[in-house]
Amino acid sequence: MKVPQISIVAPLYNESESFPLLVKRLTALMDSSPLSIEVVLVDDGSKDDTAMRIRQLALTDDRYHGVLLSRNHGHQLALTAGMARARGTEALFVIDGDLQDPPELLPDFYKLYQEGNDVVYAVRRKRKEGWLKKTGYFLFYRMLRSISYVDIPLDSGDFALISRRVVDVLNKMPEESRYLRGMRSWIGFKQTGFEYERDARVAGESKYSLKQLLNLAYNGIFNFSEFPIKFMSRTGVIAILISLVYFIIVVIKKLFFTQVIEGFTSLLFVIILFSGVQLLALGIIGEYVLRIFFQSKNRPLYIVKEEIINREYI
């Protein structure tokens, strides 16, 4: 096999059901494409037979490479593991293993790459998902964009074609709480969007638990925005200003009108409100401390259990 120009990287977690169709579509794509393509499939500690299927495939077809992680490390780290091992000399095509990102779009992405774009990211025109999830995503991306210091494009996930030089930078970023779409934007170079309609899953349920999804959202907010910290100091300043004004009013009342200072309810309200604000502020600092804590341990991001990689052309 020739040295691949393009690596397709897909993380899989319990995707046994959609696996045969994924392989069928990827193989058809490789057979029909004039490009030389390799596929790196990462098993993220699946509990079903995904890992075994990947191993079997990689042993029989040398265009496929298997990377099996020691346990479930999460989508972002599985992708990171795949990206570190992909050898495509021109670019990496990052897709989901559940076929929500049609691999057949590779030629369209590649064309934009050839026109000089280092990153071609997919922009979802329509989602075939429940309204709750859709609304959540819609609001989150807009909120993140408004508070982020990085220009993170709206409605785009990890589905993208990324040039070799950008991948090299990504591979060198040791960030622990990874939010790859943010890191990708942060790197810069010429980036452009490609609109597509996101398909529904071909089989099974979403493998992202609500906790994982919230974690990803948190990583986006805390790693790509200074807003939470700024929010604390701003709230502090506003509180001080309000209390000063209130103090002046009370003094004037006392001096010129000798009125009795009013009540208990407002006092209680203010105490409760600012206890809440203080706890929130502590929690926000905690988020940053936690991230520093984990980063400073310097643990490897993920652990690979087994690799089935065809080394013929190295």
Binding site for ligand UDP (CB under 6 A): 11-13, 15, 44, 72, 74-75, 78, 96-98, 100, 206-208
Q: Tell me how far, at minimum, the Cβ of 203 lies from Mg ion, in Å.
A: 11
Q: Which residue number, 96 or 158, has a Cβ lying nearer to Mg ion? A: 96
Q: Does 76 participate in binding Mg ion (rule CB under 5 A)?
A: no
Stretch that binds Mg ion, among 10-18, 77-85, 95-103, 182-190 (CB under 5 A): 95-103
Q: Tell me how far, at minimum, the Cβ of 78 lies from ligand UDP, in Å.
A: 4
In whole angstroms, give the CA distance from residue 226 to residue 239: 20
Q: Which residue number, 177 or 206, has a Cβ lying nearer to ligand UDP? A: 206
Residue 12 near residue 54, CB atoms below 8 Å: yes
Q: Which residue number, 8 or 281, has a Cβ lying nearer to ligand UDP? A: 8
In whole angstroms, give the CA distance from residue 113 to residue 57: 29
Q: Which does 207 bind (CB under 5 to 8 A by kind): ligand UDP, Mg ion, none?
A: ligand UDP
Q: Which residue number, 100 or 163, has a Cβ lying nearer to Mg ion? A: 100
Q: Which does 12 bind (CB under 5 to 8 A by kind): Mg ion, ligand UDP, none?
A: ligand UDP
Residue 43 near residue 69, CB atoms below 8 Å: yes
Q: Does 100 participate in binding Mg ion (rule CB under 5 A)?
A: yes
Q: Tell me how far, at minimum, the Cβ of 81 lies from ligand UDP, in Å.
A: 10
- Which stretches of the chain are assigned E, i.e. beta strand? 6-12, 37-43, 64-69, 91-94, 119-127, 160-163, 191-198, 304-308
Q: Binding residue for Mg ion (CB under 5 A) from 98, 101, 118, 155? A: 98
In whole angstroms, give the CA distance from residue 95 to residue 69: 18
What contacts 189, CB < 8 A, 6 or more positions away?
A: 118, 119, 163, 165, 166
Two tokens at 74? 């999460």
Q: Which does 140 bind (CB under 5 to 8 A by kind): ligand UDP, Mg ion, none?
A: none
Q: Does 44 participate in binding Mg ion (rule CB under 5 A)?
A: no
Q: Which residues pair with 92 in a beta bridge?
A: 7, 162
Q: Which residue number, 58 or 281, has a Cβ lying nearer to ligand UDP? A: 58
Q: Tell me how far, at minimum, the Cβ of 38 lies from ligand UDP, in Å.
A: 18
Q: List the end-to-end C-alpha distance of the chain, in Å, as a whole number.
A: 11
**Residue 214: which H helix or E strand, with range?**
helix 210-223
Residue 102 near residue 196, CB atoms below 8 Å: yes
Interface residues with Mg ion (CB under 5 A) are: 96, 98, 100
